[in-house]
Amino acid sequence: MMSLNIRRRSAAALLAGAAAIGLLATGCSSGGSGGSGDPATLVAYTGQAGDYQINFNPFSPSRIGALGTIFEPLFFHNKAQVSEPVPLLGTESAWNEDGTVLSVTLREDVKWSDGEAFDAADVAFTFDMIKANPAINTGGFDGEVAAVDDTHVTLTFAEPSFVRGPDLLSTPIVPEHLWKDVNPAEDVIEEPVGTGAYLLEDFKPQAFTYKANPDYWGGEPKVKQIRFLSLSGNQAGADAIAAGTIDWQTGPIPDIQNTHENFPNYDAYTQAQNQMVLATCSSAEQGCTGPQTDPAVRQALYYAMDRTQINSLAFMDTASDMSPTFALTPSQDSFVSAAVTEKTVPVEPDAAKAAELLEGAGWTKGEDGIYAKDGERLSLTIEVVTGWTDYITAVDTIASQAAAAGIEVKAAQSSWNEWTDKKGKGNFQLAIDSLWQGPTADPYYLYNYFFDSSSGAAVGEAAGNNYSRYSNPVVDDAMDALVQMPLDDAAGRQPFFDTIQAEIVRDMPYIPILTGGTTSVWNTTKFTGWPSDDDLYAFPAVWSALDAAEIFKHLEPQG
């Protein structure tokens, strides 16, 4: 009896004490702003959900930072705009005539942040290390690297490899003297030493901080500190913007059009980068089943969409035009074939055109207003991820628009894991998704990822990127030819782009919807120099490490 009483009393005292300390502490710290009080500190949120686990290995897929900011590549390639690569550790690069030897001239007088000098041996070491460790060789590097002298390196390949240039030159370079004893696949590099503009100041699971590198070869950056916070997700990020505790997040916030009116310190900038599509399991030869294996059905669906309505209902009018050739518009317009008549996707529905296409392919309208062929109703299911509300709204909108054109469309929601699994194995008819871009502004990469038959697979087997299982020898051949040509040979490459575009616009294994925007919200009162329409020097997304590193260097604190 005594003991129980004592315990209860002490618990009550503990509670009272805790409450008192709590109130006291609140009284002292003014507001508790999450640490953005210091004007020279930029606080960013990368979308990391939950705590950070330390990992500053630039080759690790679970890295939390260091790529670009601490470990620099040879060149920076801007994927937001067609432009010359920005020299970083390299100053010049050139391919030989047949694309088998890439020569790179390196910057002189660069030092690692521990004081050692950077030279060609480090570059050679980095590439050799990647080649020797298949688990980190994400670019499939199989060439020979040689340091000619302190400032010249050559990469030699057995086959023409022009198209690999941007990926190779974006490889982060690491110091030989520290990495020679490191297992690059498994070491988390708790104390990263690089050549970049920033140094790691401290790490905590809830936040990590960079500080400016005073000896950076390009001059000490003006933003002196960058802190990355961990929050619980995009919603928490939007809350933090509203509370003014973070300076940059890439992700949606409510009422995006009026960001500046709602939060006077902030501005929102949307860069159209991901082309949203209804991906189809397109190839009957590979085992796909369903009406969508008929190109006429895919075309009809393409014309049945009312994209103005989709954009306003599902995407808050942040989506933009798209070219049916999948060359990103407007930044890659120069690659679009002259033979393609529709430069951008139709914004208004064209039911007559859809009907004409379907009837031309032998479909007839049934009594219920839905087309049918050989007793098979034109009914399709679109797979969408649970909780991806913009896509779900888009699919519902498309369903009602398709019904008007005599096509029945149903939505099937599943978890992200299950959805990914269905796509990979080919157990789907249609899936709403977006296609991503390559390492630089060039449509070759997207064609290679999504339309090349080598990354497809039969239904039931796991496909690579080309999960539509599109397989077209004409496209494959054109792509093989493009590999043989330097990226800057626009005149030579264009005929092959024309061929690819003619084929994929006709076959349409991915039905274009619109180009989705990536929206960044950033603090324009504290910092200037953010990318803009006039000067889009990098793809503005805080989670895109190499781009973010470039942006950090451009920013200037105000006042």
> How far apart (Å, rounded) are the C-alpha atoms in residues 390 and 414?
15
Residue 25, burial from CB neighbour count under 10 angstroms (0-12, 13-18, 19+):
exposed
Instruction: State the nearest-atom distance from the C-beta of 511 to another protein, in Å.
Output: 19
- 3-state SS assignment for residue 411: strand
Instruction: State the nearest-atom distance from the C-beta of 474 to another protein, in Å.
Output: 21
Instruction: State the nearest-atom distance from the C-beta of 301 to another protein, in Å.
Output: 24
Backbone angles phi, psi at 366, to 5 degrees: -85, 180
- 3-state SS assignment for residue 389: helix
Instruction: State the nearest-atom distance from the C-beta of 279 to another protein, in Å.
Output: 13
Nearest to 325 by CA among 314, 317, 335, 315: 335
Instruction: State the nearest-atom distance from the C-beta of 370 to another protein, in Å.
Output: 31
Of 136 and 358, the one with the shorter C-beta distance to another protein is 136
Per the CB < 8 A criterion, the answer to whether 325 and 494 are in contact is no
Residue length, the chain?
559
206's tokens: 């809830």
Of 363 and 419, the one with the shorter C-beta distance to another protein is 419
Per the CB < 8 A criterion, the answer to whether 475 and 451 are in contact is yes
Of 94 and 416, the one with the shorter C-beta distance to another protein is 416
Instruction: State the nearest-atom distance from the C-beta of 493 to another protein, in Å.
Output: 19
Question: Which H/E stretch holds residue 91?
Answer: strand 90-95
Report the largest interatomic distance among the alpha carbons of the chain, rounded to a whole angstrom: 93
> How far apart (Å, rounded) are the C-alpha atoms in residues 379 and 134?
44
> How far apart (Å, rounded) are the C-alpha atoms in residues 481 and 498?
13
> How far apart (Å, rounded) are the C-alpha atoms in residues 84 and 97?
20
Instruction: State the nearest-atom distance from the C-beta of 53 to another protein, in Å.
Output: 4
Of 337 and 466, the one with the shorter C-beta distance to another protein is 466
> How far apart (Å, rounded) are the C-alpha atoms in residues 334 and 490?
9
Sorted by sequence, the CB contacts under 8 Å of residue 249 that are 6+ apart come out as 44, 45, 46, 47, 234, 237, 238, 240, 241, 520, 521, 542
> How far apart (Å, rounded) are the C-alpha atoms in residues 234 and 250?
9
Of 18 and 404, the one with the shorter C-beta distance to another protein is 18
Instruction: State the nearest-atom distance from the C-beta of 26 to another protein, in Å.
Output: 5
> How far apart (Å, rounded) are the C-alpha atoms in residues 212 and 113?
11
Of 301 and 319, the one with the shorter C-beta distance to another protein is 319
Of 126 and 337, the one with the shorter C-beta distance to another protein is 126
Of 379 and 465, the one with the shorter C-beta distance to another protein is 465
Instruction: State the nearest-atom distance from the C-beta of 123 to another protein, in Å.
Output: 20
Residue in this structure with the two tokens 């002196």, named with its chain if needed: 224
281's tokens: 């399991």
Sorted by sequence, the CB contacts under 8 Å of residue 97 that are 6+ apart come out as none
Of 422 and 526, the one with the shorter C-beta distance to another protein is 422
Of 217 and 543, the one with the shorter C-beta distance to another protein is 543
> How far apart (Å, rounded) are the C-alpha atoms in residues 381 and 410?
5
Instruction: State the nearest-atom distance from the C-beta of 291 to another protein, in Å.
Output: 25
Instruction: State the nearest-atom distance from the C-beta of 34 to another protein, in Å.
Output: 6
Of 293 and 468, the one with the shorter C-beta distance to another protein is 468
